[in-house]
Structure 1
Amino acid sequence: MSTDHEVGSVRDSVYCAAAVWSLYQAYRRIDDDRGKSYELGQSTVKCMRGILECWVKQAGRVEVFKTRQSNQHALHSKFHLHTGEEIYADDAYNHLQIDLVSLYLIFLVQMITSGLQIIYTQDEVAFVQNLVYYVERSYRTPDFGMWERGSKYNNGTPEIHASSIGMAKSALEAINGCNLFGEKGASWSVVYVDIDAHNRNRSIFETMLPRESSSKGVDASLLLTLSFPAFASHEERLVEQTKHNVITRLRGKRGFKRFSRDGFLSKIEEKNRRYYHNGELKDFEGHECEWPLFYIEMIIDGVFKSNSEQIEEYQNELRNCLHTDVNGDPVVTMYYAPDGDGSYVRSPSQSLFLWGQSMFIIAQLLTAGLLHINELDPIRRYLPSYNRPRRGGRYSAFQVCFFGSNLT
């Protein structure tokens, strides 16, 4: 799913699938939806399977990556929109994004738990198990992170990111013991996780907080890691400290900065250069773009915490960041760039910011009461582990039936 005619982004597609799936969950409440919920559910399946098929073509990479973690063997994050083939070479794009594969696994489990059948064959089960191996070593795998640039200095260097480790930790917790065939599965369709790898990820993740990485003291990506969709930690003090750090240091008038001295899409960034020069980073201070996406994230976070004041506060902020399309529908602006004179320049509106628009749809469904948090999070990631429902049968599911003729 992309507004680009050739390049399809896996991250955008996952969030689009999540938005359509949220609509599917909402429509299931209606007695006579005239087939709408089924159509939405199958659209979700189609998108998630499309991503899976792109990655299955790169299965050989996963095998090599398990022994040698490098960008040359990473699963790609961009594909040709129509053919599903590779579109950017390894040296032309920073494909190594552990958090992206983890995000896919989290939503895969959520959707299967809601009743959708996404995985069809034993080969696909084996591949998803390999994706688990792919993310298990995130605690010691430098990657390019959620913003696809690695180090804050944008010099092509990957680094250890707390957001990537947190996403991986959440994915491992979500998928451990999950039967990919749902209620109809057998013992061989269950996915397993190395508990030691999970514990290492948890330990390193919570040790790094509230920092994001060695070069980034604070990063807005941690909001998505600590709240929806990952809910990577339930250490209340640590979570609140990190969120407070992000809000106080990165919140602006039109959204949140991704991190301090972020030159991406700013007015003074040279668009024809992939990497920055040494010492160039200081020039971007005060010129960082602000992203309304994080206002939406704070609205969703407020719904999960039942914090009406937070919801209202960020809804009011978000209203100033929306514009309407030709049909009069609200559209989320991708970013606002400071122009240096105290005002902002809105991002071009020729294309739709799919990630932000998807999150906006989810937020609207939640705040309107059309979607419950338990429908958006069927596996209850938002609850501490000891409060989450236990899976009834790890290896199989069966139903006991009683027939009237046999009752005495």
Structure 2
Amino acid sequence: MRGILECWIRQSDRIEKFKTNQCNRFSLHCKFDLNTGDEIFEDTDYFHLQIDVVSLYLIFLVQMISSGLQIIYTQDEVAFIQNLVYYVERAYRTPDYGMWERGSRYNDGTPEIHASSIGMAKSALEAINGCNLFGEKGASWSVVYVDIDAHNRNRSIFETMLPRESSSKSVDSALLPTISFPAFATHEEYLYNETKSNVVRKLKGSYGFKRFGRDGYKTVIEDPERRFYRTGEIRDFDKIECEWPLFYIFMIIDGVFKSIPEQVEEYQNLLKPRIHKDLNGDPIIPMYYYVPEKNIDSERNEPSSTFRLASLVGSGNRIAGDEEGNGIYLWNQSMFVIAQLLTAGLLHINELDPIRRYLPSYNRPRRAGRYSAFQVNPQIFFLIFISFLEVIL
């Protein structure tokens, strides 16, 4: 957490410019060198404007501080976190590139308003409002405040957009971690149920969930040498989108939080045949499953009828240039560990969510301070945050 904070502090001048001009040119970077913290991509080479990334950081910052960890040490860092709050407060009117880093589904470099980004920002604002960044050792000047009007605008726009993701995407699997763990952006039962059922109905497959309709990412016919798609090219990806087992895991975790054992069992059974073994015999989960070229026509004619192949990443096979990673997809692995801990009864949902984001605000326990009376094992939060680390590093 402090490593990411240090990377962003180096770009503090960008936040000041972003306050007056919300565009990719002044956005905080989302990818840094893991060892040095240096920037990896220039603004022209990668779309860094992803409001959900900063929002997610703020959510887990509050979760970890509430568990008893000390992460923020100086008044300058407190001021910087307050600036991060300003950064996400205008999410409701800031077109960004979303969780999948491509903007609109046409992949033509156009940002748009994403419900998932607004929902993450809404959750971050609710979590951090009134939070003392020094925990029980804090003073009045280490408390972070939120513009209540900005929060209300984010809430109203977010709830108005649901169950849609954006103007170009009627449905997107990115909404699952938005309405459920880790953001819990809405506690309106109707909106939650409608959004989840819409995602399941339209995107669920035999190998995982599609990210969104006509998503060409990692399909065999996508040209990896070309950054953007041609006009109308997304029609070629219709019904052959890759399926991602990650969202089976999100549905398992959601079932635990919502106390729906039937849902947990259903998605555990769906996930089981998608689990591979690495060289040591440990379970690992492929990043995605794709339709091989010879099966494309059959899949288009009869969706979900053909055999899919697992991606090299996450299948347990070594990848050139990634000898240490051994082809592991960290997001899948860390979420899988969390899901297994929850279903085995080794981890309670209150340990996973100390600030009780999963409860409506009126049901959350009232405390004199914004911190727990006990300290949760820091390794739990390392597992949680590492699940989203690939988005940032």
TM-score normalised to structure 1 length = 0.84
Is the counterpart of residue 118 in structure 1 residue 71 in structure 2? yes
Give deviations 1:110-142, integer Å, cap 9, x for gaps.
Answer: 011011111111111111110000000000000
Match of 1:88 among 41, 66, 78: 41
1:129 is matched with 82
2:20 is matched with 67
Q: Secondary structure at the match of 1:79?
A: coil
Distance in 1, Cα, partners of 2:176 & 2:336: 16
1:363 is matched with 339
1:148 is matched with 101
Unaligned runs of 5+ in 1: 1-47, 398-408
Is the counterpart of residue 343 in structure 1 residue 307 in structure 2? yes
Unaligned runs of 5+ in 2: 299-305, 320-326, 374-393
2:271 is matched with 318
Distance in 1, Cα, partners of 2:285 & 2:140: 44
Is the counterpart of residue 353 in structure 1 residue 329 in structure 2? yes
Residue 135 of structure 2 contacts residue 370 of structure 2 at CA under 8 Å; is this kept in 1? no
Report the aligned-residue RMSD: 1.2
Q: Secondary structure at the match of 1:262?
A: coil
Residue 190 of structure 1 contacts residue 394 of structure 1 at CA under 8 Å; is this kept in 2? no
Q: Which amino acid aligns with 1:343?
A: F
Q: Which amino acid aligns with 1:286?
A: K
Distance in 1, Cα, partners of 2:201 & 2:343: 25
Distance in 1, Cα, partners of 2:370 & 2:285: 42
Q: Percent identity?
A: 74
Q: Secondary structure at the match of 1:78?
A: coil
Q: 1:262 to 1:394 in 2, by over 3 A?
A: closer
1:376 is matched with 352
Q: Secondary structure at the match of 1:198?
A: helix
Distance in 1, Cα, partners of 2:127 & 2:178: 14
Distance in 2, Cα, partners of 1:345 & 1:268: 14
Distance in 2, Cα, partners of 1:386 & 1:292: 34
2:235 is matched with 282
1:272 is matched with 225
Distance in 2, Cα, partners of 1:71 & 1:314: 38
Q: Secondary structure at the match of 2:32?
A: strand
Distance in 2, Cα, partners of 1:250 & 1:176: 35
Mean Cα deviation higher: 385-394 or 306-315: 385-394
Q: CA deviation at 1:287?
A: 1.3
Q: CA deviation at 1:391?
A: 3.5
Distance in 2, Cα, partners of 1:356 & 1:77: 19
Q: Secondary structure at the match of 1:135?
A: helix
Residue 50 of structure 2 contacts residue 117 of structure 2 at CA under 8 Å; is this kept in 1? yes
Q: CA deviation at 1:66?
A: 1.1
Give deviations 1:335-360, integer Å, cap 9, x for gaps.
Answer: 00012251111100332111111111
2:169 is matched with 216
Q: How many residues align?
A: 349
Structure 1 residue ranges, 4+ long, deviating more than 4 angstroms after superposition: none
Is the counterpart of residue 246 in structure 1 residue 199 in structure 2? yes
2:123 is matched with 170
Q: Secondary structure at the match of 2:20?
A: coil
Distance in 2, Cα, partners of 1:218 & 1:357: 25
Match of 2:284 among 316, 331, 355: 331
Q: CA deviation at 1:394?
A: 6.9
Residue 95 of structure 2 contacts residue 111 of structure 2 at CA under 8 Å; is this kept in 1? yes
Distance in 1, Cα, partners of 2:86 & 2:191: 28
1:34 is matched with none
Residue 50 of structure 2 contacts residue 96 of structure 2 at CA under 8 Å; is this kept in 1? yes
Q: CA deviation at 1:361?
A: 1.1
Residue 267 of structure 1 contacts residue 287 of structure 1 at CA under 8 Å; is this kept in 2? no
Residue 66 of structure 2 contacts residue 370 of structure 2 at CA under 8 Å; is this kept in 1? no
Distance in 2, Cα, partners of 1:147 & 1:83: 25
1:187 is matched with 140
2:182 is matched with 229
Q: 1:393 to 1:110 in 2, by over 3 A?
A: closer
